[in-house]
Amino acid sequence: MMFKQFYLGCLAHASYLIADGGEAAVVDPQRDVDQYIAEAERCGAKIRWVIETHLHADFVSGHRELAARTGAEIVFGARAEAAFPHRAVRDGDTIRVGSVELRALETPGHTPESISWLVIRDGRVERVLTGDTLFIGDVGRPDLASGRGYTPQMMASMMYDSLHRTLLALPDDVEVWPAHGAGSACGRNISKETSSTIGVQRRTNYALRPMAREEFVSMMTTDIAAAPQYFSHDAEMNRRGARALEEIAPPPLAAADVAALLERGAIPLDVRDNQSFAAGHIPRSVNIGLDGQYASWCGTLFPPTEHLVIVADGEERSREAVMRLARVGMENVAGYVDRGILGWTAAGKPSEELPQMDVAELRDSLGDMNVIDVRRPAEYVAGHVPVARNVPLNELPQRIRDIPSDAPLAVICASGYRSSIASSLLARTGVAVTNVIGGTSAWMQAGYAVAPGDAR
C-alpha cells in the first residue's frame, strides 16, 4: 500500500492518496488536482474514488474536476445531500482500494455529514482519516451548521459522542491523519504536527480529557471566533461542485483598462511583499502578499463577489494569485496588470507609497503616536508593545470607527505581514498610517519592554 499526505501550507490543508493493487483513492482534494493525477500515474494506479470527509467550508474542493478527468466516483456522507452524482455512504459502509479496506465512521459534530475513514489492511485498523472532527491537539469547531437548522450546542453534543464513543474507542496505536493543521480557522489552536496517534491524542488533546457532556458543550461553544465570511459560500460551492480551474483565466490588462475598472469600483489587490508594496503601489491598493496566508486573508477580508484586479511581479505570480483565490471560491478577478506596477507607472499612472518605521523608531515615538496591534487576541495578551490597542485584522473592516485619530497612527503585528494588510485597508479610507517593519518579533528581539494584558 502507498499512503501519501499532501500538505498545503497556505491553507493549512491536508489531503491524501491511498493506492494499492493498481487502484487509488484521493481524500479531501484541493481545487487544483494535477498532483494527485501525477502521483497516481507514478505508482501505476488508477484513481477510482474521490472521497470527501465533509462539505469543507475553508476551501473549494476539486472533487468534480478530479472525477471528470479520471472517471472516479465521488463519495460523500449521506447527510451532505451533494447536488451531483455521487455515492452517499453511512456508518459501516466500505470501499476497497486493492487489498485495502476503507470503512466509513459517521462522526458528526463539525458538520452533520462528517465521515471519518478507517484504513484497514489485513484485518487491522492502521489509520483513521478524521477530516475536521479530530485535529492534532484540537477538535473541529461546532458552529458552522446554523444555516442547516443546527445550533452550536447541538453540534457540540454530537461531537462529544463522535469523539468519546467512536474515535476514542479505537486502539491507541491507530494513526490519526486530519484534514487541517496549525493556522486553520476550522479549529481553535491546532498543533503544528500533521499526524499523531489515538493514544497520544487521548493523553494530550485538551478536548479529549475526561469530562461530562455538559462541560464539553460549554467549552466548545464559548468564545468561538467568528467564522470567516467565505466559509458558507465555499461549503455551498462544494455541495454543488465547482467548475474546472481551466475555466477561470482572467487576462493581462493594459493600464488604461485597469484604470477604467478601478473607476467602476474594482479593487487593486497587490500580492507583492510588503516592502515592495511600500515603495510604490497603485493608489487605494490592498496589500495581501502571496508568501503568507494569502487566500485565507482574501476570503476573510473581501466578499466572495468582490471584483479584483491583481498586481504582481510577473505573469507567473499573477496566475498563481488567481488560482489561489479560486481555492477559496473567489472567482471575480477581472484580470491582472500587464507588467505589474512597472506597466502601470510606465503608462504615466500615479503611484503611492506606504510609510514604514522600524521598532527603534516606534519606541522613540510611543508618546506621540497611537499604536494598533492587529494580531489575534491570544497573541496580544501574551505580550504587546506598551500603549498598543488590539484590533484583530479579521475585525478591522467592521471597526474602522474604533481607530483613534487624535495622533499619528502606527500598525504592528507579529512580523509586518498582517500590519501591511491593515495599513493598506486603513489608507484606502483616508487614514494616515505607518507600518511597523518586523513587528512585535523585532520589538522583543531588541529587548524592548513588553506589556501583558487583556485584548479587550
Span 117-142, pLDDT tens digits? 999 999 999 999 999 999 999 999 99
Task: Compute the mean pLDDT over every residue in the chain, rounded to the nearest whole number.
Answer: 96
Q: Would you call 387 helix, strand, or coil by DSSP?
A: coil
| One domain, residues 405 and 273 | no
| One domain, residues 257 and 235 | no
| One domain, residues 208 and 281 | no
Share of the chain above pLDDT 90, in %: 93
What are the distances in angstroms from CA 362 to CA 124, 365, 370, 438, 455? 60, 5, 10, 11, 21
Res 320: pLDDT: 96
Residue 443 has pLDDT above 70, yes or no: yes
Residue 208 has pLDDT above 60, yes or no: yes
What average pLDDT does range 76-86 have in this prediction? 96
| One domain, residues 261 and 191 | no
Tell me if 281 is assigned to some domain: yes
| One domain, residues 59 and 100 | yes
Tell me if 133 is assigned to some domain: yes
For residue 314, give its domain range: 248-346
**Single residue among 289, 313, 346 that ends a domain in this structure:** 346
Tell me if 285 is assigned to some domain: yes
Q: What is the spatial distance between Cα 77 and Cα 54, in angstroms, rounded to a whole number?
A: 7
User: Of 392, 448, 454, nearest to 419 (Cα)?
Assistant: 392
Res 455: pLDDT: 54
12-26, 102-116, 220-234, 318-332, range with the lowest pLDDT: 220-234
Query: Is residue 163 within 8 Å of residue 140, measured between CB atoms?
Result: no
| One domain, residues 233 and 326 | no
Tell me if 10 is assigned to some domain: yes
Res 454: pLDDT: 67
CATH number for position 134 = 3.60.15.10
Residue whose C-alpha cell reads 496591534 in the numeric block: 373
Q: What is the pTM of this model?
A: 0.93
| One domain, residues 269 and 235 | no
Q: What is the spatial distance between Cα 239 and Cα 148, in angstroms, rounded to a whole number?
A: 13
Question: Where does the pLDDT of residue 434 fall: very low under 50, low under 70, confident under 90, or very high at 90 and above?
Answer: very high
Give the pairing type, strands 308-311 and 267-270: parallel
User: Of 310, 260, 304, 267, nearest to 290 (Cα)?
Assistant: 310
Amino acid identity for residue 1 in this structure: M
Give ∠ CA 192-28-244 in degrees, rounded to 5: 125
Tell me if 351 is assigned to some domain: no
The burial of 93, by beta-carbon neighbours within 10 Å (0-12 exposed, 13-18 middle, 19 or more buried), is given as middle
Q: What is the spatial distance between Cα 46 and Cα 361, in angstroms, rounded to a whole number?
A: 60
pLDDT digits 0-9 by tens, 46-78: 999 999 999 999 999 999 999 999 999 999 999
Tell me if 181 is assigned to some domain: yes
